């Protein structure tokens, strides 16, 4: 049961936008046991698309195409589908009404010719109705391959994948069992972990594979088991994860790949009815924005003071000028003072504070580029740690954010 | 002059991570006139990689491979290169010293066996020396195709692309001219723009192509000209952009694809020596973190108060309880009060404030999900606007962030 995901668009091939759709689709397919064999990005060129379709015809069971369904002239997927399936476009009444509704109701303007054309679909296509946008999805079959076309706008694509594509594929195809288990670890490097679990890894059964997914400050370990006996897969996976936990218990923060640390943290805080605030300098509000991306975060996250300028540390966080002069803005003392101050201002149980120099140039302090201080204020006091996250700027900020989340997470676990 | 970019890793094919490397590489190649024909993501499977190499051999000039060079067991790219080039691995002295330096110097621990293995490279490979990491890049040639292998860690890949790959490719190949011009527009939808510029678009010369790149709240228009006469391309591009500017001048914010609005805004503020702060509720600090991602932002961005909880609006922004009760937390009055308050606290010329309900559930207010108020405080006063950005949560936050940046940008242009 194999699928190929195709994303269409010159903007992808010149690197102007990053393709996030393929990843979302692959994850959804994987959950129902459909393996993505390849992801391919190709240009808005009809010949190129047709050649690719022909290569895949009868080689894979499903071809999912995103992009090229928008309202504008550079969208050619629909015409290409017509040519490949020797079909013609007809106006779909239901879609036309829907498009009218969105344009006239939501955008409060009359429908344009270009909008009208979105209601055209190939006669042989099964329409995948797009409730959240104006571009319809299409399902067409040729011999042993299903070709599915979806709009490129991420939330429209997601809506159709979740509500139309996945249910339809799950009904049409018999699928093998795939069991994944991700182990989220924080604060230790890939190669060190590999050394520690080498013997365990060497003794994994052949139907279970391990992958390392390193990113700044954290490594995800992913186990994948494939087979026909679902119970066996689940049992063996459970056993292997328990063995692994014995080896690296100290760095494991969670087991759900859909649960980054900010989500796990949010659940802990909600359960224990605890609250959190942040005072951010070098991370510039990124910790706050990550925390608030989690639905329901208003239960435990009260807010943040982004004191990017030194003066803001005085004016908003009431750090005294003296201690700012005595210690540098990038110092343990100032970071701890910031954490205590925001904890008090926001009336929260815990607070995180960051200061540092992310580069490329030195800022208000003469701290080395890459230097970051992270302070954690708890109901019992405050502590801080110094780090050097190297370069470049993006890496320093990202590592500071994940390290801060790791420190607060471990602190809250202690309670 | 065609290239294919291959990313290797099961984690990509199951949708666990999004491939951002291909996009970076494609952009770098495009700048030196090398067109990316396809991007392909395949599994960590040796046979699959070998098959893909064979298909591409002599079909494209360059094959760039990322991933599968890390220190751990699931990395098989190096072995696969050896097999494809009928070669063997030998220890590279310089790389070994470099790896030792990083592990012992930076991580302060003895080098492990797994680290040592990173110094192994195929005998026929030209080593692309990785100054910023432990996995070396490789350049190997077979008949008419160059195969380049790069580590998957983004900042290591970027270092090698910028410092080794691009210079080497630029020297080796003669390349056609490609001229791109991106026009950044804010605040109008794709299909409306298309209507307005339809006649202009229909009359574009055949060697210039237009693409629409919509994202929440903004549309990028990209013109691409290809040919052998560089002067002609530049002249025609200039002419077409001037004609376009006459048609949609009111929504154009910039012309540099590498300059999102936060960068353009930053330059304007720096030039006029103006300062900015934000008070964020529904955007949760995302405006601040976007602004501070720009190097040098400390010159003009002073900080932010993320008053996520209503109480924080009282405690930190000193919004009186009365007016909070009189008007809802999601209202023009409160948003304007937040903007004025943070402007004063941070002593800035301008301030942005956001309140709203991003969903999925209603928060401290009974405002409809998707409702967002954005206020702009200027040296002369304050104003606000109400929006409904629909659903889901991620879209509401993203659209609120880009709309806020658009409003402040236009305000500062007026000065």
SS (H, E, C) B274-289: CCEEEEECCCCCHHHH
Which residue of A9, A109, A308 to mutate against B (max B Cβ within 10 Å)?
A308
Residue in this structure with the two tokens 């900020």, named with its chain if needed: A397
Please count the helices (runs of H) and the strands (runs of E) in chain A. 17, 17
Give how far B20 is from chain A: nearest CA, Å. 6
**Short-list A304, A195, A384, CA closest to B308:** A304
Dihedral, CA of residue B96, residue B101, residue B103 and residue B106, to nearest 10: -160
CATH 3.40.980.10 fits B2-172, yes or no: yes
Angle between helical axes of B393-414 and B261-272 (0-180°, round to 10): 30
pLDDT value for B73 = 57
A261-413 is classed in which CATH architecture? Alpha-Beta Complex (3.90)
Does B222 sit within 8 Å of A194, measured CB to CB? no
Contact between A185 and A219 under an 8 Å Cβ cutoff? The reply is yes
pLDDT value for A357 = 92
- What are the distances in angstroms from CA A215 to CA A6, A173, A187, A190, B161? 26, 35, 11, 9, 19
Contact between B268 and B413 under an 8 Å Cβ cutoff? The reply is yes
For A308, which of B26, B298, B390 is closest by C-beta distance?
A: B298
CA–CA separation, B231 vs B227, rounded Å? 10
CA–CA separation, A292 vs A273, rounded Å? 17
pLDDT tens, chain B, 415 aa long: 899 999 998 889 988 889 999 999 999 998 888 999 999 999 888 999 999 999 999 999 999 999 876 666 557 889 999 999 999 999 999 999 999 988 887 777 888 888 898 999 999 999 999 998 888 999 999 999 999 999 988 889 999 999 999 999 999 998 888 888 999 998 888 888 999 999 999 999 999 988 888 777 789 898 989 888 989 999 999 999 999 999 999 899 888 766 788 999 999 999 999 999 999 999 999 999 999 999 999 999 999 999 999 999 999 999 999 999 999 899 999 999 999 999 999 999 999 999 999 888 776 677 888 999 999 999 999 999 999 988 788 889 998 998 999 999 989 988 7
pLDDT value for B216 = 72
Stretches where chain A sits below pLDDT 70 are 69-74, 257-258, 363-364
pLDDT value for A9 = 87
Phi, psi of B374 (to 5 degrees): -125, 125
Residues of chain A positioned with their CB less than 8 A from the CB of B318:
none
pLDDT value for A59 = 94
Are the folds of B2-172 and B261-413 the same? no
H/E stretch holding B318 reads none
B-chain residue closest to A6, CA distance: B40
Give how far A312 is from chain B: nearest CA, Å. 6
Those residues with Cβ within 8 angstroms of residue B55's Cβ, 6 or more apart along the chain or in another chain: none
A177-254 — its CATH code?
Answer: 3.30.70.2860
pLDDT value for B380 = 95
Outline where A36-189 has alpha helix (H). Answer: 46-56, 77-84, 93-100, 113-117, 154-160, 166-172
Please give the DSSP secondary-structure letter assigned to residue A105. I
Residues of chain B positioned with their CB less than 8 A from the CB of A191:
71-72, 112, 114-115, 134
pLDDT value for B364 = 64
Does the interface predicted TM-score (ipTM) exceed 0.95?
Answer: no
For B11, which of A18, A213, A293 is closest by C-beta distance?
A: A213
- What are the distances in angstroms from CA A249 to CA A107, A167, A202, A203, B318? 53, 38, 19, 19, 45
pLDDT value for B231 = 93
| Every domain of chain A and the residues it spans | 2-172, 177-254, 261-413
């Amino acid at each position: 049961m194999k699928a190929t995901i195709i994303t269409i668009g010159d903007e992808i091939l010149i690197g102007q936008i990053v393709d996030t759709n393929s990843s979302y689709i692959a994850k959804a397919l994987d959950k129902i046991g459909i393996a993505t064999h390849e992801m391919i990005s190709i240009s808005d060129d009809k010949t190129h698309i047709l050649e690719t379709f022909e290569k895949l015809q009868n080689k894979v069971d499903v071809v999912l195409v995103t992009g090229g369904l928008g309202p504008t002239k550079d969208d050619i997927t629909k015409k290409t589908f017509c040519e490949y399936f020797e079909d013609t476009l007809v106006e779909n009444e239901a879609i036309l009404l829907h498009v009218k509704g969105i344009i006239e109701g939501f955008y409060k303007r009359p429908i344009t010719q270009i909008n009208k054309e979105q209601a055209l679909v190939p006669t042989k296509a099964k329409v995948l109705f797009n409730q959240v946008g104006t571009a319809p999805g299409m399902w067409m079959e040729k011999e042993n391959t299903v070709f599915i076309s979806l709009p490129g706008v991420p939330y429209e694509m997601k809506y159709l994948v979740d509500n139309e594509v996945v249910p339809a594929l799950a009904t049409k195809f018999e699928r093998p069992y795939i069991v994944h288990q991700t182990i989220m670890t924080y604060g230790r490097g890939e190669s060190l972990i590999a050394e520690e679990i080498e013997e365990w890894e060497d003794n994994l059964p052949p139907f279970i594979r391990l992958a390392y997914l390193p990113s700044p400050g954290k490594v995800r370990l992913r186990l994948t088991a494939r087979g026909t006996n679902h119970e066996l897969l689940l049992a063996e996976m459970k056993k292997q994860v328990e063995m692994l936990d014995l080896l690296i218990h100290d760095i494991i923060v969670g087991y759900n790949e859909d649960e980054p640390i900010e989500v796990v943290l949010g659940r802990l805080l909600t359960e224990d009815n605890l609250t959190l605030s942040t005072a951010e300098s070098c991370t510039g509000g990124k910790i706050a924005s990550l925390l608030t991306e989690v639905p329901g975060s208003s239960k435990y996250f009260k807010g943040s003071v982004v004191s990017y300028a030194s003066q803001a540390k005085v004016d908003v966080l009431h750090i005294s000028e003296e201690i700012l002069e005595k210690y540098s803005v990038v110092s343990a003392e100032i970071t701890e003072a910031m954490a205590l101050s925001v904890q008090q201002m926001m009336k929260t149980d815990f607070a995180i504070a960051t200061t540092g120099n992310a580069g490329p140039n030195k800022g208000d302090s003469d701290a080395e580029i890459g230097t970051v201080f992270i302070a954690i204020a708890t109901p019992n006091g405050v502590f801080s740690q110094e780090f050097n996250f190297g370069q470049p700027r993006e890496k320093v900020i990202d590592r500071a954010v994940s390290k801060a989340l790791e420190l607060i997470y471990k602190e809250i676990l202690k309670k």
